Every structure is written in C-alpha cells, then in structure tokens.
Amino acid sequence: MNLHIGDQSIPPKDILGLFDLDAITMEKSTRDTLNKAQANGLLRDFCAGELPRSLVLAVDKAQQAWYYLAAPNTATLRKRMRVAL
C-alpha cells in the first residue's frame, strides 16, 4: 500500500524521509537544497492550495531524489506509513 500525499502516491520502499517543513527550513543549507531542487524540477507541491507542512524525500526507480511538499503534518504521514506497511 502506498503513502498518499495529495494527488501523489509513493511506495513506502521509495521514501527516504518525512520532515517537518517548519523545522528544517530554518537552516540556510536546507533552503538552498530546496531552491536547487525547485530549479532542477525536482520539487513538487501537492498541497492543493493549502500551507505545506511536510517534506517527503523519495527516490524513483532510477535512484533520482524527489522532494514533495505535502499539506498533512509529519505525524499524520507517519501514521499513514504504518498503515501502508
């Protein structure tokens, strides 16, 4: 069972981490990484107009890292992950 974040569905085996967006964006290096991912087309927003609360870091079959912004908080996403496993 996959983790659903908005219109995106991610297999649990592809997820590298779930991060609280407020906590991680305090660091300049994190903001730089997200800006670089956005410039390279690797950052996707699945918040449907809501405020992003979480960042999901995942890889695809080619081992390319993708950054997904999600509206649910990390606690909700972790609960969904437990159900998905």
Number of domains composing the chain: 1
pLDDT of residue 13: 92
Q: What is the pTM of this model?
A: 0.89
β-strand pairing of 65-70 with 43-46: parallel
pLDDT of residue 84: 57
CB 46 within 8 A of CB 70: yes
The residues, ordered by sequence, that sit 6+ positions from 80 with a Cβ below 8 Å of its Cβ are 3, 4, 72
Range of the domain at 70: 3-84
- No. of H helices and E strands in the chain? 3, 6
CB 65 within 8 A of CB 16: yes
Q: For 37-82, what is each residue's pLDDT tens digit?
A: 999 999 999 998 899 999 999 999 999 999 999 999 999 999 988 8
